[in-house]
């Protein structure tokens, strides 16, 4: 069973693999996650592509199997927005 946000937040160096989606925002290189503390920087990888984003909010819908929502520019650095969702590796970085 996956821990909920009240049970466990990941810390620097920890890695999680799961589904990423994108959400509409005017902010650049940001994301929302329920398992990473707000303010953290994370490295998101999809195949040979990667981007670094900062967590600025909570989300996405965990019941849909998603672990992170990316801003459009961050998602586009990994794959075309038309993909909608992708399977990514998320690593929390030390500040």
Element (H, E) at 75: helix 72-76
Is the overall model pTM greater than 0.75, yes or no? yes
* Closest among 92, 90, 88 to 13, alpha carbons compared: 92
Backbone angles phi, psi at 54, to 5 degrees: -110, 135
pLDDT digits (tens, 9 = 90+) for 48-83: 999 999 999 998 877 788 999 999 999 999 999 999
* Closest among 91, 80, 70, 78 to 50, alpha carbons compared: 78
* Cα three-residue angle 46-25-27, rounded to 5 degrees: 85
Q: How many angstroms from the chain centroid is the CA of residue 81?
A: 15
pLDDT digits (tens, 9 = 90+) for 23-32: 999 999 999 9
């Amino acid at each position: 069973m996956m821990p909920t946000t009240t049970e466990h937040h990941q810390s620097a160096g920890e890695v999680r693999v799961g589904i990423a989606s994108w959400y509409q925002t005017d902010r650049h290189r940001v994301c929302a996650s329920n398992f990473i503390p707000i303010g953290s920087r994370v490295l998101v990888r999809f195949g040979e592509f990667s981007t670094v984003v900062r967590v600025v909010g909570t989300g996405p819908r965990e019941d849909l199997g998603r672990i992170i929502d990316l801003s459009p520019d961050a998602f586009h650095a990994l794959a075309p927005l038309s993909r909608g969702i992708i399977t990514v590796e998320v690593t929390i970085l030390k500040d």
